[in-house]
Amino acid sequence: MKFSTSMTVNRISEALWEIPKSEKPGMQVPARIYGTEKVLQDMDAGVFEQVTNVACLPGIQEYALCMPDGHWGYGFPIGGVAAFDLQHGIISPGGVGYDINCGMRLIRTDLTLADVRPRLDALMTELFRTVPAGVGARGFVKLNNKKFQEIMRKGARWCVDQGYGWDEDLSRTEASGCLSGADPDCISEHAMKRGMNQLGTLGAGNHYLEVQVVHHDRIYDHAIAEALGIHGHDQIVIMFHCGSRGFGHQVGTDYLRTFEKAMPRYGLHVKDQQLACAPFQSTEGQEYFAAMNCAANTAFANRQVIAHQIREAFGKVFQQSPESLGMHQVYDVAHNIAKVEKYFNKPLLVHRKGATRAFGPGSPELPDAFRQIGQPVICGGSMETGSYLLVGTSQAMKESFGSTMHGAGRTMSRAQAKRQVRGGQLLQEMAQRGILVKAVSMSGLAEEAGLAYKNISQIVEAVETAGITKKVAEFLPIGNIKG
């Protein structure tokens, strides 16, 4: 079998492959990559290089992982997962990503395609007005330092207390929308300034807000779908993708600089400077963890305010209350995070970088609504293809540190996509296919063309074949907002 690497790659199962420790000096554990044979053959060489670099980090446990949507990233590959011993392991911003707690939220409705299609233009216009998008977007929630620090500590709970959402949203959010251990004293003044005005904004890049339709023949497990409020029959749902924006980016930047200076003091050496790290129990490691939790909570709050604005927009266009439209949250899940979780009977620090938590049935961390079926997993595809709702499995808890893929994964750079696609032309072509797009920038739209991404269905099939996630339903886009 030919892959884009000269390393030995052994097949473990139909959708799991392993690079042995002997393939690179310094590897502490094997590296494992999920994917079918076709997915692995299409994987870029950077993934093999980066996942084996991760396998060299101090205190890593069991194996370094990469999901089938994996591609070259900063330090870790996008799609990377690694768990570290709390006493002897490290924490690395490159294993979390710059957009801390970038994640997905899914809202279901009682509306159908027949209800929405005649008002789709008005709806997308109102959503585009209500949810600011783009690089410099500013939110409507006015904050001062004190309020912003409260958000860092309380996350989505602060928003609900202010009337931006419903109590039930919190139980349907990972970690109830708030990670403990956040300390605003670990945040720089520059990061504060960057994040102060961004609450309730979508951002740019691959962030989006999408109105989608669920056809009955795209539901793959009707019992689980029904339990999550998804019934098909041309049902309308809303999915959106964003994180901590410039605030999280600045936190990552600040601590990467700190770690680069600190590594010599701790005798740490890495294969790639982008893997700059510190011992988890060190002062620097604990301060980054506290700052990361601040950014993660701000991201939960950001998505909470956006959910509120989406409900307001739907209510205005359809002249009904969001409650009467059945606009209940299905779930909100992070895919750029480091968290302490228990595996192999001990607590570990699990880094997920472009990878989604996928806890299986019976996991005590899950609320009663998901205890029997497993945690919902929300995976976005490209704006031209569609997205998926899945659930975590018991196999994921044993094998992948309760983790799975987070989306389609890019196949080409943004610059390359812009060389091949014209945003205005793409806008027209998508409209002809029944997908109405509102975009801040035509060049930004070109960067997100479907050809720049892997086939989402192939990626989903890979994690289902591997047994670490179970497919529930597929959603097709009819309206999209891009920054």
Catalytic residues, by residue number, are 406
Judge whether 420 and 451 are in contact, CB under 8 Å: yes
Count CB neighbours of 463 within 10 A.
Answer: 30
- What residues contact 125, with CB distance under 8 A and at least 6 apart? 438
Cα separation, 412 vs 20, in Å, equals 28
For residue 127, report the phi and psi dihedrals to the nearest 5 degrees: -65, -40
Reported residue count of the chain is 483
Per the listing, tokens 């310094």 go with 26
Q: What tokens appear for 248 in the block?
A: 């999280």
CA-based nearest residue to 451, from 408, 411, 419, 413: 411
- What residues contact 433, with CB distance under 8 A and at least 6 apart? 384
Cα separation, 42 vs 37, in Å, equals 9
Judge whether 225 and 231 are in contact, CB under 8 Å: yes
Three-state secondary structure of the chain: CCCCCCCCCEEEECCEEEECHHHCCCCCCCEEEECCHHHHHHCCHHHHHHHHHHCCCCCECCCEEEEEEEECCCCCCEEEEEEEECCCCEECHHHCCCCCCCEEEEEEEEEEHHHHHHHHHHHHHHHHHHCCCCCCCCCCCCCCHHHHHHHHHHCHHHHHHCCCCCHHHHHCEHHHHCCCCCCHHHCCHHHHHHHCCCCCCCCCCCCEEEEEEECHHHECCHHHHHHCCCCCCCEEEEEEEECCHHHHHHHHHHHHHHHHHHHHHHCCCCCCHHHCCEECCCHHHHHHHHHHHHHHHHHHHHHHHHHHHHHHHHHHHHCCCCCCCCCCEEEEEECEEEEEEEECCEEEEEEEECEEECCCCCCCCCCHHHHCCCCEEEEECCCCCCEEEEEECHHHHHHCCCEEECECCECCCHHHHHHHCCHHHHHHHHHHCCCEEEECCHHHHHHCCHHHECCHHHHHHHHHHHCCEEEEEEEEEEEEEEC
